[in-house]
A and B are shown apart, each in its own frame.
Chain A
């Protein structure tokens, strides 16, 4: 197997696969904009399932920052930069292609956000996508390959909540003035929660049922800012960081989980 790879030049392999791809999927040939830059085989299924009918364009201005190699697959930090030049953004969807839970979160924007950071679970190495829905119904997709050294972020034990059961739903919060990529406000919060995937079997053979935060909303003095649909592909005690240019006073984070519990930070005191 290894010997065979050595004798083939990379360019020959590339040419072969390019040809192969065009023979199998001729429609890709004349729709270069929708070609997946990371040459994934299952992207089209993902696109249909999570992004629907709208036109899709891969766009390198949406930047995904991931560690160059990932040792702890239970807690993978990701930052997505959403350039303000894109204009009015409606939704952001984070997808991990090779995950058993592919959609990490879906963010509905009621006001602009310029970056979104979170901690997530990756089962194995995978293309990670950030799809951004513009007002005209077009999706722009940024991608990055995650190189996972120790697989099992969704299915292996570990990466548990650092909080006690009594602390489930506790919301901790920190605001950074001028902390964002455009020197605007950055808001960081952590919700104590196990975020169990339902895919983990403990050493004693017992399986841990799925239990996770499914919705988060952020409000300020001017009303609803953001809503997140979340999945257990977010890490235990997920930490979310967002850059919001027009953040007002009286910030409030609310969340609910898959057992129907509701969590509310109340109005948070102003920073500093």
Chain B
């Protein structure tokens, strides 16, 4: 019993210490220290950390980047906060004096879209899929509140949810000066309106969150079946390097299996549980099988994914079952 009590107090102490430790982030740490990584001639990536949102990383968990043409620059995604976007623009300017003319926001999730306001202030054309724009308008405030809770005001101060300046529903070519870049919409996969950026010159594909590498995919706005189809299409595209929304670079010889098998696992796990009558609490307390247990952030993302899928599937199940009033 004494032993048991020690354990409990150790737990309580850990929780208390953990909380007090979280409560203060010193001002000096509120810089992302973004460093562009040149992965091909004229193609740069700011690699995000393989972590969840935290007060330590300020949501720098996402891969953003830019492509430099002869006349202009195109940025890919805007990052999670005003601070991030400002640092990103600063870092791009340190690489090239050319104007940043466009920023393509791959989808409406905050880690990709909350820097829009800063790019807009710099007179940069911001492109988004219309469905993503609508979702950002509808859910942006809620998503931002959620982000602010997790990373803290030190990072989010001055960030305001803002909307794109132009919309793109069909594939479009943007020429940066002897550097044609394709913007390709992929609807209804990771979110209703994702955009993918393909640099024809270097055969680099910025896939946004349609591809997660070594990290648990997030699915709150996803349609898994369509997403799996999109992965097949993406895999067949002629790219040398693929930059996932989260996780390290993929080379041509690497298939998109990390995302594909995890999505299939989520769908099967939730589907089997719903049809057997297994409860959400039962599923959430089971052990995540190998190899998925190796994915970064899988413990928290698995809980989120099961919650989302359970709600959808349970609702369908009840609707197809006897119901009376």
Contact = CB atoms under 8 A, between A and B. Distances in A.
A79 B5 contact: no
B303 A71 contact: yes
A32 interface: yes
Interface in A17-65: 17-18, 32, 35, 37-39, 65
Interface stretch (A5-13, A98-106, A129-137): A5-13
Contacts, number: 122
Given A2-B21, A65-B282, A71-B304, A265 B324 contact: yes
B94 interface: no
Given A77-B284, A173-B321, A176-B276, A14 B303 contact: no
A72 interface: yes
The dominant DSSP class at the A interface is: mixed
Contacts of A190: 314, 318
Contacts of B12: 39
Interface in B283-323: 284-285, 299-300, 303-304, 307, 314-315, 317-319, 321-323
Interface stretch (A164-172, A213-221, A224-232): A164-172
B26 to A, nearest CB: 13
Contacts of B304: 71
A176 B281 contact: no
A39 B282 contact: no
A174 B13 contact: no
The dominant DSSP class at the B interface is: helix
A117 B279 contact: yes
Chain B interface bracket (under 10, 10 to 19, 20 to 34, 35 or more): 35 or more
Contacts of B5: 14, 17-18, 39
Contacts of A71: 303-304, 307
Interface string B28-48: 000000000000000000000
Given A72-B307, A176-B277, A241-B277, A35 B1 contact: yes
12 contacts: A67-B284, A68-B284, A77-B280, A162-B315, A172-B318, A172-B323, A174-B317, A179-B276, A190-B314, A190-B318, A266-B324, A268-B324
Interface of A: 1-2, 5-6, 8, 10-11, 13-15, 17-18, 32, 35, 37-39, 65-69, 71-72, 75, 77-79, 117, 119, 150, 162, 167, 169-174, 176, 179-180, 186, 188, 190, 239, 241, 263-266, 268-269
Q: Which 6 A-B pairs have the closest CB atoms?
A: A176-B277, A179-B277, A172-B318, A14-B9, A10-B10, A79-B281
